Copies of this chain bind each other. A is one copy, B any other.
Amino acid sequence: MKALIVDDDRTLADVIAFTFKREGFEVILAEDGESAYRRWQDENPDLIILDVNLPKEDGFTVCRRIREQSDIPIILLTVRSDEEDILGGFHLGADDYITKPFSPRQLIARVKAVMRRAKKKNPATVREWRNISLFLNRHELKIGDYPPIQLSGLELRMMDCLLINVGQIVTPEIIIDQVWGPNGGDMDMVRQLIHRLRVKIDRKFPNQISIDNVPGLGYELKSIQDND
């Protein structure tokens, strides 16, 4: 793991570098906006700690320029807690900010949180089809402009399974495999789960979507407007 630390206060930069090294990071340093940009291109780090007040080119500009080309996690350091600055920073794509002064614990905690979030960004966290959105990370199903409803773990996976295979008939075998795993689950449970889903969804979203049964084959998710 490589971290690029950008701060013109040499002592503070050293301190941060020390903390990062202790956590097992490889550290690259830069002291102004321009060199920060160059170092980023050359070294391809996994994380950037970026002071806002920098010579030559300020942190916001650097943040924006880098963000235009990469999803790398960026944490801003700022002395001002003016909400505008912080919000501005977020708007420019920063993943988090820390106001000086801060403790090593804080810094590391933020870094970990940001890295964790970044890692989880890759696998899709929301599955969409027509006006249906399934938020996998918060177990929520949202249809149109209706309020989202909470799904349990199994319900979520069932819904996901139906959405992935939308437009085709999903056999009980596939459902069991995707919801319960290789050697768990049962036709009875599938029926129950389907039933609970139907109740939950129809109660909240009357006449929006339906889970149809095809006798002898399996189930299929449909949008009510469907005429096919």
Interface, chain A (partner B; CB < 8 A) = 11-12, 14-15, 18-19, 79-84, 86-88, 90-91, 94-97, 99-106, 109-110, 112-113, 116-117, 123-126, 128, 137-139, 147-148, 150, 152-153, 161, 164-165, 168-169, 174, 177-178, 181, 214-217, 227-228
Chain B residues with CB under 8 Å of A161's CB are 109
Chain B residues with CB under 8 Å of A82's CB are 123
Shortest A109–chain B CB gap in Å is 5
Taken together, the copies of this chain in the complex come to 2
Sample of 9 further A-B pairs with CB below 8 A, known A81-B126, A91-B106: A15-B87, A81-B128, A84-B104, A90-B100, A90-B101, A110-B164, A138-B214, A139-B214, A139-B216
Shortest A179–chain B CB gap in Å is 9
Chain B residues with CB under 8 Å of A81's CB are 123-124, 126, 128
Chain B residues with CB under 8 Å of A79's CB are 117, 123-124
- Roughly how many angstroms separate A125 CA and B101 CA in the complex, as a whole number? 8
Chain B residues with CB under 8 Å of A95's CB are 101
**Are B86 and A15 interface neighbours, CB within 8 A?**
yes
Q: Which residue of B lies closest to A90 (CB)?
A: B101
Shortest A165–chain B CB gap in Å is 7
Shortest A102–chain B CB gap in Å is 6
Q: A79-B124, A126-B81, A214-B138 are in contact. Are A87 and B110 (CB under 8 A)?
A: no
- Roughly how many angstroms separate A110 CA and B9 CA in the complex, as a whole number? 12
- Roughly how many angstroms separate A178 CA and B227 CA in the complex, as a whole number? 33
**Are A137 and B83 interface neighbours, CB within 8 A?**
no
A-B residue pairs in contact (CB < 8 Å), sample of 10: A11-B99, A79-B124, A81-B123, A90-B100, A90-B103, A94-B101, A109-B177, A113-B165, A139-B217, A150-B214
Q: Which residue of B lies closest to A116 (CB)?
A: B174
Q: A137-B169, A138-B169 are in contact. Are A101 and B124 (CB under 8 A)?
A: yes
Shortest A222–chain B CB gap in Å is 12
Chain B residues with CB under 8 Å of A84's CB are 18, 104
